[in-house]
Amino acid sequence: MYPPRSKRSVQKKKVKRARKRRIWIINLVLIAAIGLVGIYYAVGMQEQQIDPVVTETAVKQEPANEEGPQGGDQVSSTEPDSEKGHTPDEESEDSDEQVTENSGGKSGESKPDATDSKANGKIDTGTKKSTDTPASSGSSGSKGSEGAGTGTTQPSHSAKDVTINFVGDIQFSGKVAELLEKNGYDYPFAKLGNLFKEDDLTIGNLETPVTLGGTGAADKTYVYKSSPKAIEAMASAGFDAVNLANNHILDQGIEGLVDTLTYLEQYGIAHTGAGMNRDEAYAPAYLERKGMKIALLGFSRVVPETSWKAEGNRAGVAETYDSTGAVKAIQEARQKADLVIVVAHWGEERVSTPNNDQTRLAHEFVDAGADLVIGGHPHVLQGVEYYKGKWIAYSTGNFIFSKSTTEETWKTAVFQASCSKDAKCSMKVIPYEAGLGQAIPMVDQANKLLLEQMTQLSPGVRFDANGFASVN
């Protein structure tokens, strides 16, 4: 027989049992609470689920048969904004910046098969910054407080808005190529963080052919040629699309253009502004983000010679000395897209004020249906304009480029727009320095001074301390 238990022993047992019951009750309450939170979160995510990111194949435009002869389209050395107008220090203080045929990459690199180009030489398919896309991982959500609005005040942000980052001229030739071979082709984007991976679209002006072949253009001061490694690095950094309508994309002839289109397709970067015939050059790249269909078009008013213009079945760039073709392409895109973006190559080099042609064309583009107009070519920053409820950025400056002796070319910015499905956009400027082959964030006083300069360059528009533009 067991000895009788003392009262003290019984009390201890009761206390232990009561303590265990309390612990079980607390655990059950915590488990129930966690379950409720999980259910609430799952329901909330279902309600706010972001549409999967898909890039659509471009819709090929019908030939512009009704378009008459372009009276103002002949290019000569007398054009005020022609390539002929370069001065020796315009793009580099280095005498060897006139790039030779062999500067585009090492001989061990493989050359693409031209037959792998898109059937129309035009549009790429790919997805934006998805974790299952090796070239560009990250989220596709919009950032912080940038959102769509009227432009008169700092806008409120919606998770359904599309955030788009625009940058200026990009090339990887000469001294830049030497630097990247030494430091790696991710060097240009090393100080950007996840800026281009956490937006919805990143768009730049690719001002160089990407090829291991080609024949360098004659009678040009600067002839560029970049390694295919650069396109792989751009994709990894988060670039989604590029404009090719500029005065360098044919620096290595048609072969260079074909190779460029092929490499862009290979790495999932869409393009516009150049193609294997007129229809392809003027056709928009269509992309879809968050259920919004976006049309991207590119046009150049800087063409070194007439043979560079895409005409009929001749490969080349979409030019806009005569705006008829560009306006028609914008109007057609307006019928198919929720948001229409135009990237324009225009203006005078190293001049901080847009000329009359830039202003006239920008207004024509908006009147035709463009929601955003983003310019380049002057190699310096120019101001922005708020015209009929639409933002125009006249020049984004250099972004990844050689470094000239002109200090104003060292200033650049990321122009960030956030747009709603009804095409209302905000505009924000994020200051950067265009170092040799690398974009470097501006901080503190330099950041402040650049935003103040942008306000001075933008009549009727003010930039606050965070870079948001508003209408005075």
State the amino acid at position 121 in one-letter form: G
Q: Which amino acid is at 165?
A: N
Q: Above pLDDT 70, what percent of the chain?
A: 71
Q: What is the pLDDT of residues 371-390, one digit of tens each?
A: 999 999 999 999 999 999 99
Average pLDDT over the chain, rounded to whole? 80
Identify the burial level of 181 via C-beta atoms within 10 angstroms of its C-beta, where 0-12 means exposed, 13-18 middle and 19 or more buried: middle
* Confidence at residue 28, expressed as pLDDT on a 0 to 100 scale: 76
Lowest mean pLDDT among 184-188, 200-204, 215-219, 360-364: 215-219
Average pLDDT of the segment spanning 382-406 = 97
Report how far apart, in Å, the C-alpha atoms of 62 and of each of 67, 246, 312, 401, 433 are.
12, 23, 12, 36, 42
pLDDT at 50 over 80: no
CATH of the domain at 335: 3.60.21.10
* In-domain check, residue 355: yes
Residue 10 in this model has a pLDDT that exceeds 50: yes
Residue 174 domain flag: yes
At 110 the pLDDT is: 52
Rounded distance, CA 213 to CA 215, Å? 7
Is 33 part of a structural domain of the chain? no
The DSSP code sequence of 251-286 is TTHHHHHHHHHHHHHHTT-EEESEESSHHHHHPPEE
State how far the Cα of 419 lies from the Cα of 162, in Å rounded to an integer.
Answer: 5
Whether the pLDDT of residue 230 is over 50: the answer is yes
417 vs 97, more confident: 417
Joined together, the tokens standing for residue 129 give: 């910054």
**30 assigned to some structural domain:** no
Domain that holds residue 227: 166-471
Number of neighbours of residue 153 by Cβ within 10 angstroms: 11
What pLDDT was estimated at residue 42?
A: 56
Q: Which whole number is the average pLDDT over 33-60?
A: 48
Residues 6 or more apart whose CB falls under 8 angstroms from that of 123 comprise: 57, 58, 270, 271, 283, 285, 286
In the structure encoding, which two tokens stand for residue 200, read together? 């919805």
Burial per residue of 50-62, b for 16 or more beta-carbon CB atoms within 10 angstroms, e otherwise: beebebeebeebe
Residue 363, burial from CB neighbour count under 10 angstroms (0-12, 13-18, 19+): middle
Which pLDDT value is given to residue 179?
97
pLDDT digits (tens, 9 = 90+) for 110-149: 555 543 333 333 333 344 554 333 333 333 333 333 333 3
Half-sphere exposure of 301 (CA within 13 A, CB side): 27
> Both ends of the chain: CA-CA distance in Å?
97
Position with higher pLDDT, 97 vs 110: 110
3-class secondary-structure state, position 158: coil
Q: E strand or H helix at 469, and its extent?
A: strand 469-471
DSSP string computed for 356-390: HHHHHHHHHHHHHT-SEEEEE-SSSB--EEEETTE
- pLDDT for the residue 111: 53
What integer pLDDT is reported at residue 447 of this predicted model? 98
pLDDT of residue 119: 33
Tell me if 3 is assigned to some domain.
Answer: no
pLDDT of 140 reads 34
Domain membership flag for residue 91: no
Q: 6 falls in which pLDDT band (50, 70, 90)?
A: low
| pTM given for the model | 0.74
Residue 452 lies in a domain: yes
Return the pLDDT at 282. 98
Cα(310)–Cα(273) distance, integer angstroms: 10
pLDDT digits 0-9 by tens, 404-430: 999 999 999 999 999 999 999 999 999
Question: Is the confidence at residue 246, as pLDDT, over 50?
Answer: yes
φ, ψ at 459 (rounded to 5°): -55, 130
H/E element, 235? helix 228-237
Shortest CA distance to 331 belongs to which of 369, 276, 386, 365?
Answer: 369
Any idea what DSSP says for residue 345? E
Instruction: Give yes or no for residue 242 having a pLDDT over 80.
Output: yes
How far is CA 154 from each of CA 130, 303, 325, 465, rounded to the nearest angstrom? 29, 38, 36, 12
pLDDT score at 21: 75
Give the C-alpha separation, 254 to 259, whole Å.
9
Q: Is 45 exposed, middle or buried (0-12, 13-18, 19+ CB in 10 A)?
A: exposed
What single letter denotes the amino acid at residue 332? E
Classified as helix, coil or strand, 420 is coil
Considering the chain, what percentage of its residues have pLDDT values greater than 90?
A: 66
Q: Are strands 241-243 and 270-272 parallel, antiparallel or unpaired?
A: parallel
pLDDT of res. 27: 73
Asked if residue 178 is part of any domain, the answer here is: yes
Q: Using one digit for the tens of pLDDT, what is the confidence trace for 297-347?
A: 999 999 999 999 999 999 999 999 999 999 999 999 999 999 999 999 999
**Beta carbons of 239 and 269 less than 8 angstroms apart:** yes
The count of residues in the chain is 472
Q: Mean pLDDT: which of 11-15, 126-130, 219-223 is highest?
A: 219-223
| pLDDT (0 to 100) of residue 411 | 98
Beta-sheet strands, E only, within 139-264: 162-170, 201-206, 241-243
Domain count, the chain: 1
- Can you point out the beta strands (E) in 62-218? 162-170, 201-206
| Cα–Cα dist 392/171, whole Å | 24
Residue with tokens 């470097």: 440
pLDDT tens for 53-79 read 333 333 333 333 333 333 333 343 334
